[in-house]
């Protein structure tokens, strides 16, 4: 893979990062070690070998002279996968709780910028086995282990992250080694246009400038003059992270959808709104008179297309009706809001910021990152994102994947982000919060399951 310029949105994510606000996304995947498989201790070498075989994971970011302020992906000639894949034992105790605790701590740490921006950790129960790779004792059969994946947002959006991460699973790695699935090479393009392209580029640039003006006006209209937002969802930057998880039954979600209309995503967004309401009331907080606003990312990739490189995102802006006491009315309000968003399209509202990034020069991203980071709370209060996963059953070293919890980065000045993924008939919810602002994150996670049960009850 040759040198490749960072796409504008990737460059924006790269420069938005600070020590207290690392811009990586992640996932905590939980596996069951079965008899005759590698198990948690023995899977480290397999994971390292498969990660090293993914070309994108050998790339690091370096500055370039042109365009001014730009950066490019380049092969790390000193790449050593052992600097990226590690095994960490968990203390004795509840495996799920200890894995979530350690994952939260690991998500606090920014990725080293001089290296390819990703890390993977194998989390195993109990004390460390002898040796770096460890062996698998008979006592490990049937015990869970987890893999934490961290990818910088400049490296991947949700769909691209899934495509990269899928390379570690048996089903994809085996097919790749057998030559079943081959990605057609893309011919390198020159950074300089030929004479016949100049006129077309000029017309395209005029259209882009007009579109940028429209997007900018839309973002300004969507912004709030009062940047304080919803108090429960805004916080100073402590640099700490806390992770909590919840699991919802997909069939319950579909039952509600069939009874009320709309989409499964509408039901999940209404569940988030109801859980926030429960959480705020249990905290003794006053429900906000102005509904908190959720940024709901939308992929701009075409269904069935190759994932490709670079982030391709827009987003919708949705008012979460947390002050509404009736679960049915909350769901109806969410459905109506999302219907309006879809009718308007992804070129309006605060979510259009991602599209505006495509219209700005590289130097603007480098110089304007601090201002853009501080402006997030003027646009939205919470990120709620859905991450697509393969429908087929997956395994690693013969160990079946049991659960997978996605994790989204926190915007500056905000205390909570929610990510959801569907796998194996369940919806897995990953909640990432500022550790000091939201010490009771598990309470919010419980509210997700309680709210879905309440929705089921009221629809009969």
In this prediction, residue 460 carries a pLDDT of: 72
Q: What is the average per-residue pLDDT within 444-459?
A: 96
Contacts of 447 (CB under 8 A, 6+ apart): 274, 275, 276, 278, 279, 282
pLDDT higher for 382 or 126? 382
Residue ranges of E strands in 66-111: 71-75, 85-89
Average pLDDT score over the chain:
80
What is the distance between the alpha carbons of residues 420 and 253, in angstroms, rounded to a whole number? Answer: 13
Q: What is the average per-residue pLDDT within 271-296?
A: 94
DSSP 8-state code for residue 55: G
Query: Residue 175: which pLDDT band, with cuts at 50, 70 and 90?
Result: low
Read off φ and ψ for residue 94, nearest 5 degrees: -70, 115
Read off φ and ψ for residue 238, nearest 5 degrees: -90, -15
In this prediction, residue 220 carries a pLDDT of: 45
- For residue range 255-269, what is the model confidence (pLDDT) as tens digits? 999 999 999 999 999
Classify 121 as helix, strand or coil: strand
In this prediction, residue 95 carries a pLDDT of: 92
In this prediction, residue 346 carries a pLDDT of: 64
What is the distance between the alpha carbons of residues 295 and 427, in angstroms, rounded to a whole number? Answer: 20
Lowest average pLDDT, out of 63-67, 402-406, 424-428, goes to 63-67
DSSP 8-state code for residue 196: H
Is the pLDDT at 140 greater than 60, yes or no?
no
Is the pLDDT at 176 greater than 90, yes or no?
no
Q: What is the average per-residue pLDDT within 89-102?
A: 92
Extract the tokens encoding 193: 């246009």
In this prediction, residue 360 carries a pLDDT of: 60
Extract the tokens encoding 382: 């919470």
CB 20 within 8 A of CB 160: no
C-alpha to C-alpha distances, 34 to 29, 124, 201, 367, 441, nearest whole angstrom: 16, 14, 57, 52, 32
Q: What is the average per-residue pLDDT within 269-275?
A: 98
pLDDT higher for 92 or 229? 92
Query: Residue 280: which pLDDT band, with cuts at 50, 70 and 90?
Result: very high
CB 129 within 8 A of CB 87: no
Classify 179 as helix, strand or coil: coil
In this prediction, residue 275 carries a pLDDT of: 98
Query: Residue 454: which pLDDT band, with cuts at 50, 70 and 90?
Result: very high
C-alpha to C-alpha distances, 134 to 50, 98, 140, nearest whole angstrom: 18, 20, 12
Read off φ and ψ for residue 405, nearest 5 degrees: -110, 115
- For residue range 309-349, what is the model confidence (pLDDT) as tens digits? 555 557 788 999 999 999 999 999 999 999 998 887 766 65
Q: What is the average per-residue pLDDT within 102-112?
A: 94
CB 26 within 8 A of CB 133: no
Extract the tokens encoding 135: 């062996």
Residue ranges of the alpha helices (H) in 300-426? 327-344, 353-357, 362-374, 376-379
Give the β-pairing of 382-387 and 241-249: unpaired
pLDDT higher for 432 or 310? 432
What is the distance between the alpha carbons of residues 407 and 418, in angstroms, rounded to a whole number? Answer: 7
- Write the secondary structure of 17-31 as one string of H (helix), E (strand) and C (coil): CCCCCCCEEEEEEEE
In this prediction, residue 392 carries a pLDDT of: 86
E strand or H helix at 281: helix 264-282
Lowest average pLDDT, out of 100-114, 138-152, 338-352, goes to 338-352
Is the pLDDT at 391 greater than 50, yes or no?
yes
Percent of the chain with pLDDT over 90: 48
Query: Residue 420: which pLDDT band, with cuts at 50, 70 and 90?
Result: very high
In this prediction, residue 15 carries a pLDDT of: 86
Burial class (CB in 10 A: 0-12, 13-18, 19+), 446: middle
Give the β-pairing of 85-89 and 118-124: parallel
Query: Residue 133: which pLDDT band, with cuts at 50, 70 and 90?
Result: very low
Is the pLDDT at 399 greater than 50, yes or no?
yes
Query: Residue 190: which pLDDT band, with cuts at 50, 70 and 90?
Result: very low
Q: What is the average per-residue pLDDT within 423-435?
A: 95
What is the distance between the alpha carbons of residues 201 and 190, in angstroms, rounded to a whole number? Answer: 14
Closest CA to 145 of 155, 134, 154, 156: 134
In this prediction, residue 456 carries a pLDDT of: 95
What is the distance between the alpha carbons of residues 426 and 442, in angstroms, rounded to a whole number? Answer: 19
What is the distance between the alpha carbons of residues 293 and 319, in angstroms, rounded to a whole number? Answer: 5
Q: Taking CA 58 as the corner, what is the angle to CA 55 and CA 59, rounded to the nearest 5 degrees?
A: 100
Give the β-pairing of 293-299 and 382-387: parallel
Query: Residue 210: which pLDDT band, with cuts at 50, 70 and 90?
Result: very low
Radius of gyration of the chain (CA): 22
Only one residue has tokens 């003794």, namely 284
Extract the tokens encoding 115: 């290296």
What is the distance between the alpha carbons of residues 19 and 106, in angstroms, rounded to a whole number? Answer: 13
Is the pLDDT at 155 greater than 70, yes or no?
yes
């Amino acid at each position: 893979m040759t040198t490749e310029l960072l796409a504008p949105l990737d460059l924006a994510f790269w420069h938005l990062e600070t020590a207290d606000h690392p811009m990586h996304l992640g996932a905590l995947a939980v596996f069951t070690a079965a008899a005759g498989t590698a198990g948690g201790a023995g899977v480290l070498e397999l994971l390292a070998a498969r990660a090293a075989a993914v070309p994108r994971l050998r790339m690091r970011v370096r500055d370039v002279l042109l365009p001014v302020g730009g950066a490019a992906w380049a092969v790390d000639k000193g790449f050593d996968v052992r600097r990226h894949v590690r095994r960490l034992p968990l203390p004795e105790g509840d495996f799920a709780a200890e894995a979530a605790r350690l994952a939260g701590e690991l998500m606090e740490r920014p990725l080293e910028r001089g290296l390819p921006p990703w890390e993977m950790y194998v989390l195993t129960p109990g004390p460390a086995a002898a040796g770096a790779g460890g062996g698998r004792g008979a006592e490990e059969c049937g015990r869970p282990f987890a893999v934490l994946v961290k990818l910088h947002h400049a490296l991947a959006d949700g769909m691209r992250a899934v495509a990269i991460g899928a390379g570690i699973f048996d089903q994809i790695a085996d097919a790749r080694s057998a030559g079943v699935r081959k990605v057609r090479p893309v011919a390198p393009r020159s950074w300089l246009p030929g004479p016949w392209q100049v006129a077309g580029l000029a017309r395209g640039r005029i259209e882009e400038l007009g579109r940028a003006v429209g997007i900018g006006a839309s973002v300004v209209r969507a912004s709030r003059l009062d940047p304080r937002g919803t108090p429960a969802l805004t916080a100073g930057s402590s640099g700490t992270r806390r992770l909590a998880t919840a699991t919802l039954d997909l069939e319950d979600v579909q039952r509600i959808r069939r009874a009320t209309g709309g989409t499964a995503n509408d039901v999940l967004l209404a569940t988030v709104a109801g859980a926030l309401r429960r959480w705020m009331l249990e905290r003794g907080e006053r429900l906000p008179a102005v509904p908190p606003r959720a940024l709901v990312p939308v992929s701009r990739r075409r269904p069935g297309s190759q994932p490709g490189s670079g982030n391709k995102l827009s987003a919708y802006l949705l008012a979460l009706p947390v002050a509404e006491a009736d679960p049915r009315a909350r769901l109806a309000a969410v459905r109506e809001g999302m219907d309006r968003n879809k009718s308007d399209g992804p070129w309006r509202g605060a979510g259009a910021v991602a599209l505006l990034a495509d219209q700005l020069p590289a130097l603007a991203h480098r110089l304007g990152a601090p201002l853009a980071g501080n402006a997030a709370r003027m646009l939205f209060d919470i990120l709620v994102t859905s991450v697509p996963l393969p429908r087929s059953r997956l395994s690693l070293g013969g160990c079946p994947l049991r659960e997978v919890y996605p994790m989204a980065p926190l915007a500056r000045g905000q205390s909570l982000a929610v990510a959801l993924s569907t796998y194996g008939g369940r919806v897995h919810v990953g909640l990432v919060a500022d550790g000091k602002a939201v010490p009771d994150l598990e309470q919010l996670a419980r509210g997700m399951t309680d709210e879905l049960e309440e929705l089921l009850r009221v629809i009969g």
